[in-house]
Amino acid sequence: MSSSSGQPQFRYTQTPSKVLHLRNLPWECTEEELVELCKPFGKIVNTKCNVGANRNQAFVEYADLNQAISMVSYYASSSEPAQVRGKTVYIQYSNRQEIVNNKSTGDVAGNVLLVTIEGVEAGDVSIDVIHLVFSAFGFVHKIATFEKAAGFQALIQFTDAETASAARNALDGRSIPRYLLPEHVASCHLRISYSAHTDLNIKFQSHRSRDYTNPYLPVNPSAIEGTLQPTVGADGKKKEPESNVLLASIENMQYAVTVDVLHTVFSAFGTVQKIAIFEKNGGMQALIQYPDVTTAAVAKEALEGHCIYDGGYCKLHLSYSRHTDLNVKAHSDKSRDYTITDVGILSVPQSCASGWPSVVQPASVVYNSRGISDGGLSAQPVWDANQQGQGIRPGGYNQPGVPGAYSGQTYGTSAVPPYSLSGTIIPSTSAGLIQASQQMPPPPYAIQPGGARQAPSAGQPPFYF
């Protein structure tokens, strides 16, 4: 096989290329020096330096062919040769049209991970779920998601390479827990490599990208809606934007629906953080807050139209609230804040309780101890708090972590397995969610008509109880 596949290289007949080949460089030449030399002629999109046995060659790729031509032309007629550290550098077009560097992506540990989520479409995995999963290893600064030929991908920026590699080592090849995903997703493996990026440039908070370090970053108004649901339903009716907080209206309320009852019902799908009950238009409504949109979406889907009690009593109608963080009394007959009564729930969402590889168990979990609202596992976007003028409540479940407070903690001791009640959720409006065997017999209706308390309407923050 000695057929000459490569054309002979004639000095003056090389075809131009965006890629330039530089030789006679000092062996210790850095990429910075290379860029310094070449950037006056155009935008450099890639480099490869210290090439060859003597490490004295390099490649530079311009964004545009004309930029490469201008550099070659310039030095072809210049009286001063191109130099690096006093050495003359010889420049010519490369015989390749682009630089392919396999080393800088995937192998070199950086603080930004490139995550390919296999087997899903972009709408299947929300950015909140990604944030939740990767926050287990440290503060996630930024996330950018996009779709490429490889599939749905995300860039996830950590503080440093150590944190990033901990996440990579733990999660590469693993799957996102099923209960964090829509039902139709069969499997969802993560393929993780290092990105060459060190700092992502996030322009907007949106369903595709987040900057958790900058609560004042503008929200892209056309892109804040969740990705799990279309914004227009099958009937052409507009759907409200998704939220981690559900608004429940309770119809045919023959029996009292207490905070405890709601907690029992809604905990089947994930950690319930807060509940508030109020009257509206003579009926009863409740707000149920989950840590993330996905959990709320799952609960909404599963519970909509079902009855808490057999016989068609206390039928639930669910929609998304515009609230993202309820401001409720920790313990009253109309509200409950479960995040401050149980530190375990506060720091470790139940959504990590099962179905998750043991490598993500708390021994490897390092929470940052900074007082930033989303330093923990909160899927609460900071920008929501900002937008609603609610400020970040230091006493809430976003309470800054006490160093070491989480170590040795075990996941899920109080966790209800996801979908554990699903057996009782039968697609029939007469099937009650709470069975007699659960020792919660229907108590008599006990809500005083025309509630004494004036409750703000569900869409209007702030919301105090």
We find the least distance from the C-beta atom of residue 25 to DNA, in angstroms, to be 9
We find the least distance from the C-beta atom of residue 84 to DNA, in angstroms, to be 12
Q: Dihedral (C-alpha) 156, 360, 173, 145: value to the nearest 10 degrees?
A: -20
Distances in Å between the alpha carbon of 6 and those of 10, 96, 448?
12, 11, 89
We find the least distance from the C-beta atom of residue 119 to DNA, in angstroms, to be 25
* 206 is a contact residue toward DNA (CB under 7 A): no
* 11 is a contact residue toward DNA (CB under 7 A): yes
We find the least distance from the C-beta atom of residue 63 to DNA, in angstroms, to be 15
Residues 6+ apart with CB under 8 A from 426: none
* 57 is a contact residue toward DNA (CB under 7 A): yes
* 100 is a contact residue toward DNA (CB under 7 A): yes
Measure the CA–CA gap between 76 and 149, rounded to whole angstroms.
41
Interface stretch with DNA, choices 98-106, 111-119, 120-128, 373-381 (CB under 7 A):
98-106
* 51 is a contact residue toward DNA (CB under 7 A): yes
Sign of the CA dihedral with 264 first, then 267, 272, and 278 last: negative
Report how far Cα 256 is from the mean position of its chain's Cα atoms. 38
Phi-psi map region of 222: left, alpha, beta (phi>0 left; psi -120 to 50 alpha): alpha
* 101 is a contact residue toward DNA (CB under 7 A): yes
* 54 is a contact residue toward DNA (CB under 7 A): yes
Interface stretch with DNA, choices 52-60, 72-80, 116-124, 246-254 (CB under 7 A):
52-60
**Residue with Cβ nearer DNA (82 or 247):** 82
**Residue with Cβ nearer DNA (82 or 166):** 82
Contact 300, 231 (CB under 8 A): no
Interface stretch with DNA, choices 9-17, 257-265, 293-301, 302-310 (CB under 7 A):
9-17
For residue 52 the two structure tokens come to: 């060859």
* 94 is a contact residue toward DNA (CB under 7 A): yes
Q: Which of 29, 37, 56, 351 binds DNA (CB under 7 A)?
A: 56
Measure the CA–CA gap between 30 and 199, rounded to whole angstroms.
21
Q: Which of 44, 45, 99, 447 binds DNA (CB under 7 A)?
A: 99
**Residue with Cβ nearer DNA (91 or 143):** 91
* 15 is a contact residue toward DNA (CB under 7 A): no
Task: Provide the strand spans (E) within 43-111.
Answer: 44-51, 57-62, 83-84, 87-88, 90-93
**Residue with Cβ nearer DNA (21 or 300):** 21
Q: How far apart are the first and last CA of the chain?
A: 83
* 433 is a contact residue toward DNA (CB under 7 A): no
**Residue with Cβ nearer DNA (98 or 199):** 98
**Residue with Cβ nearer DNA (99 or 161):** 99
We find the least distance from the C-beta atom of residue 107 to DNA, in angstroms, to be 9
**Residue with Cβ nearer DNA (10 or 216):** 10
Rg (CA), the chain: 29
We find the least distance from the C-beta atom of residue 58 to DNA, in angstroms, to be 9
Residues 6+ apart with CB under 8 A from 286: 247, 248, 250, 257, 262, 275, 276, 277, 278
Report how far Cα 169 is from the mean position of its chain's Cα atoms. 18
CA nearest to 411, candidates 19, 165, 216, 136: 136
We find the least distance from the C-beta atom of residue 66 to DNA, in angstroms, to be 18
**Residue with Cβ nearer DNA (82 or 248):** 82
* 219 is a contact residue toward DNA (CB under 7 A): no
* 26 is a contact residue toward DNA (CB under 7 A): no
* 24 is a contact residue toward DNA (CB under 7 A): yes
Place of tokens 């210049």: 78
Phi-psi map region of 294: left, alpha, beta (phi>0 left; psi -120 to 50 alpha): alpha
Helix or strand run (H / E) with residue 170: helix 161-171
* 43 is a contact residue toward DNA (CB under 7 A): no
* 62 is a contact residue toward DNA (CB under 7 A): no
Contact 288, 275 (CB under 8 A): yes
- β-bridge mates for residue 46, sequence order: 61
Give, as ranges, the residues between 74 and 93 that touch DNA (CB under 7 A): 90, 92-93
- β-bridge mates for residue 284, sequence order: 250, 279
Footprint on this chain of DNA (rule: CB under 7 A):
9, 11, 14, 19, 21, 23-24, 48, 51-52, 54, 56-57, 59, 90, 92-96, 98-102
